[in-house]
Amino acid sequence: MLSAKSLFQEILDNDESFALFCSIAASGESQGGWENARIAALVPRSERDLAPKITRHGADEDKHGRIFTALMRKRGLAPVPVPPETDYTMLLEKHGIGLAHARLTQDEPLTVREIVTYLAHSRVTEQRASEQMELLRKHFADHPGIGRAVRMISDDEDNHLAYCHEELLRLAYAGHGRDIQRTLRECALAEIRIYRDVSLAVMDHMGRILGWPKPKSAVLAAGIHAVYAYERLVGWRRMVTLRAPERRDALGGPATTAPEFA
């Protein structure tokens, strides 16, 4: 029987598929770390209180990249090249979601509108990250090899999502509500399409590595398309709603370290 747990267990048990999974994850986290560091450096004066939180966000992403690399190293594996069609972060940028790298390499301070774009993009992608890590936590929180990493990253992603809710609500109350809702909707509809495409690409690579029969690959692809159809119809709305988080000031302190991994 196909299940999320059995599929990931297959990926986990094979060195080649595990190296690809961790390399894709580490690459995306490292890119996120760089982006947040640059955004923190370019925060406009009117939003300077955000800078330490954005810095913390970036430090967490860098930490996650190191954790995924360390998980490979523990098994004697080296990172492998990330196929372009599986690069979620870069595909989002290519489709105009979030702040472009070309903008972040400039030294001109960001505008409040660009901060709204950054936070809306983060709110959508952190929703996805939080849900994915919650799924892994459900099945692998006590796994001797990856359990500690899964729990740590899951906690961080929940903090990131709470921070996005809190800061977007603050900006909405300051008069940016219309821009926030429009940007959230644009980001969500683009993200679900890119997530579908990346999921299909990742499953295609994993299927070749693990020797999945065509019927199994077809069932998995059909499942991915079904999830996209649901998200395109109604599921995207969970990514655009804003509510006061239970975790207040979730990124208000220093980043936690991971000495057991890094």
Q: Find the domain containing 74 and state its range.
A: 4-239
pLDDT digits (tens, 9 = 90+) for 99-118: 999 999 999 999 999 999 99
CA distance 3 to 210: 16
Q: Does any domain span residue 257?
A: no
Q: What is the pLDDT, as a whole number, of residue 73?
A: 96
Residues 6+ apart with CB under 8 A from 11: 17, 18, 21, 206, 210
Q: Does any domain span residue 206?
A: yes
User: How does the average pLDDT of the chain come out, rounded?
Assistant: 94
Quote the strand ranges of 102-243, DSSP E.
none
Task: Please tell me the total count of domains within the chain.
Answer: 1
Q: Does any domain span residue 56?
A: yes
Q: What is the pLDDT, as a whole number, of residue 252?
A: 82
Q: Does any domain span residue 160?
A: yes
CATH number, position 147: 1.20.1260.10
Q: Does any domain span residue 261?
A: no
Q: Does any domain span residue 256?
A: no
- Residue 1, pLDDT > 90, answer no
CA-to-CA dists, residue 126 to 6, 75, 146, 157, 213, angstroms? 25, 28, 21, 6, 33
Q: What is the pLDDT, as a whole number, of residue 262?
A: 43
Name the residue among 251, 187, 255 with its Cα closest to residue 49: 251
